[in-house]
């Protein structure tokens, strides 16, 4: 029985007992004894799930119970490490997706669903905005998997017998970094993007893979640079134009 049903069961029993004449202080609630305890349990559950009663349930028994508000922040792009789930398979090095308040709220709800229903994990039909090498590998069949308090994206290259997936990210960590505009816990902000990897060295490598090489002449980012006799490294266009 999930948490909601357990609470409804306790509340129904409490109302029946009160109707039958039982003293209020003998009512049994999940958190203790008394009618005030069952009322506090009910209001806590509802407000923690975003139900705003505008103070209608306020009394001594419900003092201090806040309504959980959805996170508020400016959306941003998160770039996360990715890999093939095969020692010999080809796969992306990263995936990028947009983090919005709605996305964080959905992750929290899916995590709560796992907890209340006793599920190991839950998957929904959703993928990142872009996988590295997405067109070359023809990556599809995307899903978002929430495992307790963590989440990741997974997919499959066409004609492959293995999946690819992003690194697992803590939902609470992402929510904190999003709302507080901070770094740490594997996150680093670079310009208008946030990068996530397992450690500092891995983040450096991830940023280099995502941004590619930089042309010494025009400053553009490219997958490949060409070394020149004077030591400069330039893109194909600058090389063809006779630079350096």
In the chain, where are the structural domains located? 3-62, 76-211, 212-244
**Residue 180: per-residue pLDDT:** 81
**Residue 153: per-residue pLDDT:** 97
Biggest alpha carbon distance in the chain? Answer: 95
**Residue 213: per-residue pLDDT:** 62
**Residue 228: per-residue pLDDT:** 81
DSSP-assigned letters across all residues of the chain: --HHHHHHHHHHHHHHHHHTT--GGG-EETTEESHHHHHHHHHHHHHHTT---TTTT-SGGGTT-PPPPPP----EEEEEEEEESSSS----SEEEEEE-HHHHHHHHHHHHHHHHHT-S-EEES---SEETTHHHHTEEEEEEEEETTEEEEEEEETT-SS-EEEPPEEHHHHHHHHHHT--BTTEEEETTEEEE-SSHHHHHHHHHHHH-EE-TTT--EES--EE-TTS-EE-HHHHHTT--
**Residue 223: per-residue pLDDT:** 64
**Residue 222: per-residue pLDDT:** 66
* pLDDT digit string (tens) for the chain, length 244 residues: 567 788 899 999 999 999 999 999 999 999 999 999 999 999 998 888 778 888 899 999 998 999 887 778 899 999 999 999 988 888 999 999 999 999 999 999 999 999 888 899 999 999 999 999 898 899 999 999 999 999 999 999 998 889 999 999 999 899 888 888 877 778 999 988 999 997 778 898 899 888 876 677 776 656 667 778 887 877 778 887 877 6
Contacts of 242 (CB under 8 A, 6+ apart): none
């Amino acid at each position: 029985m999930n948490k909601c049903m357990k609470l409804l069961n306790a509340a129904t029993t409490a109302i029946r007992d009160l109707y039958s004449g039982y003293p209020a202080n003998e009512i049994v609630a999940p958190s203790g004894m008394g009618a005030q305890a069952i009322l506090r349990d009910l209001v806590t559950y509802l407000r923690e799930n975003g139900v705003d009663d505008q103070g209608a349930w306020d009394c001594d028994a419900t003092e201090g119970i806040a309504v959980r508000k959805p996170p508020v922040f400016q959306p941003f792009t998160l770039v996360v490490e990715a890999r093939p789930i095969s020692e010999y398979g080809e796969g992306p090095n990263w995936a990028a997706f947009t983090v919005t308040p709605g996305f964080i709220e959905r992750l929290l709800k899916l995590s709560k669903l796992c907890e209340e229903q006793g599920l190991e994990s839950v998957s929904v039909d959703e993928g990142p905005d872009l996988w590295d090498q997405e067109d070359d590998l023809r990556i599809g069949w995307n899903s978002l998997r929430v495992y307790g308090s963590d989440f990741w994206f997974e997919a499959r290259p066409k004609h492959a017998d293995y999946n690819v997936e992003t690194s697992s990210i803590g939902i609470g960590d992402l929510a904190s970094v999003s709302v507080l505009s901070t770094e740490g816990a594997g996150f680093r902000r670079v310009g208008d993007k946030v990068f996530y990897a397992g450690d500092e060295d891995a983040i450096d490598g991830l940023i280099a893979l995502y941004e590619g090489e930089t042309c010494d002449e025009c400053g553009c980012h490219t997958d490949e640079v060409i070394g020149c006799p004077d030591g400069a490294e330039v893109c194909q266009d600058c090389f063809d134009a006779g630079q350096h």
